[in-house]
Amino acid sequence: MSDHPAAALDGASPRASAASDPAGPSLCEGLPPLPADGAVCARDFPEAHTIRTVIARLGDKWTLLVVGLLGDGPARFTELQRRIDGISHRMLTQTLRALERDGLVRRTAYPEIPPRVEYALTPLGRSLLEPTLALVRWAAEHHPELTTARDRYDAAHPEPD
Amino acid sequence: MSDHPAAALDGASPRASAASDPAGPSLCEGLPPLPADGAVCARDFPEAHTIRTVIARLGDKWTLLVVGLLGDGPARFTELQRRIDGISHRMLTQTLRALERDGLVRRTAYPEIPPRVEYALTPLGRSLLEPTLALVRWAAEHHPELTTARDRYDAAHPEPD
DNA sequence: CTGTATCCTTTTGGATACTG
DNA sequence: CAGTATCCAAAAGGATACAG
């Protein structure tokens, strides 16, 4: 699991893309020149594995919600469970373990009875907060459009009974 | 599936949070005042459903890669399949359908023989590109740290044989 | 309170064959 | 070339019981 570190995506050496340039640098910037066969970018998509590793961590059902909540400050296990509607005991544990393993969350257990455990974002975890919140903001802003589009699509594509 | 539109997360009326304030506005900004029992924010996390809807779309195995590639310009089915290493025919179809349904991708079929179909991001899809790329950039930048943390954790927590 | 283990259901996704 | 349908294996995730 040792890809190239931070190759590409870093800025510098932009290349004209086939379409408009809406969000600044593309996914593929900084890659070696293309074989000039008209392909736009990223033949074999070297960052794909890196991206998928991260997305796999972030993209599960609960991770982003946990990170988002911890962004407001440290919290205990039960506190998190109470706030995240519908999460099961097992999934919260599992999510927190994975985040801890990846160095995004720090777990602090106080040797008391009954036990008390606090979870908090690490600096690395906090650095994730920014792109996460950007996505959350996008979600909040555009959710109505998604719903509308969905309804329209479903109306136009009735499933054959 | 009709939540409140863009409630919260919009800026204005910040509230002191229990910890530092790393990434600007928190997940919970703009919510009605808390019951003052020491809780930090977002009792029942009303955005949770909205967030999960979006995360569910973005968080699957291939969506972000497809969106990222389409960010470089329109592409045909086979082109996408060739570029995204490991994606199956079925999954690419399914991913594109879901994106089309949500209004993020526009599908254009040319009535030729053999058939030619082009996929392109809609304006809404392009608006997603920005937060997406932010996340991708984060992934590229911090992947090494994740790997390191992971190795360290695994070394410290040998699984019981 | 926090965490682990077990069981079982649902979902995801790959392989493949077939259609226009 | 693009798309659909079927079948099947693997993974995710919920419920529950139990332990420190």
Q: Which of residues 61-80 of A touch B (CB under 8 A)?
A: 61, 64-65, 68-69, 71-75, 79
Phi then psi dihedrals of residue B95, to 5 deg: -65, -45
For residue A128, the chain B residues in CB contact (below 8 A) are 138, 142
Q: In chain B, which residue's Cα lies nearest the Cα of A10?
A: B137
The pTM (predicted TM-score) of the whole model is 0.76
Q: How far is CA A156 from CA A93, A149, A153, B98, in A?
A: 42, 11, 5, 14
Residue B15, chain A, CB below 8 Å: the answer is no
* Å: B88 CA to C17 C1': 15
Residue A20, chain B, CB below 8 Å: the answer is yes
* Å: B87 CA to C15 C1': 12
Amino acid (one-letter) located at A143: H
Count of C-beta atoms within a 10 Å radius of residue B71 = 28
pLDDT, one tens digit for every residue, chain B (161 residues): 333 332 232 222 233 333 333 334 455 544 333 333 333 344 445 567 777 788 888 888 899 889 989 998 999 999 999 988 889 999 999 999 999 999 999 999 999 989 999 999 999 999 998 888 888 788 888 989 999 999 999 999 876 55
Residue B129, chain A, CB below 8 Å: the answer is yes
Which bases along strand D come within 7 Å of a protein CB atom? 1-6, 12-17, 20
Strand partners, B110: B116
Residue A148, chain B, CB below 8 Å: the answer is yes
What does the pLDDT read at residue B45?
55
End-to-end CA distance of chain A: 46
Instruction: Please state whether beta strands A75-76 and A116-121 pair in parallel, antiparallel, or not at all (unpaired).
Output: antiparallel
For residue A151, the chain B residues in CB contact (below 8 A) are none
* Residue with CA nearest to C14's C1' atom: B88
Residue A90 confidence class, pLDDT cut points 50, 70, 90 = very high
Which of B47, B74, B136 comes nearest A51 by C-beta? B136
For residue A144, the chain B residues in CB contact (below 8 A) are 5-6
* Å: B88 CA to D5 C1': 15
Residue A81, chain B, CB below 8 Å: the answer is no
**Contact criterion met (CB below 8 Å) for A29 and A8:** yes
- Cα B150 from Cα B153, distance rounded (Å): 5
Residue B81, chain A, CB below 8 Å: the answer is no
Question: pLDDT per residue over A19-78, tens digit each?
Answer: 333 334 455 543 333 333 333 344 445 566 777 778 788 888 899 889 989 998 999 999
* Å: B12 CA to C13 C1': 43
Q: Is A13 left (phi over 0), alpha (psi -120 to 50) or beta?
A: left
Give the closest residue to B131 by CA, choosing from A86, A139, A79, A16: A139
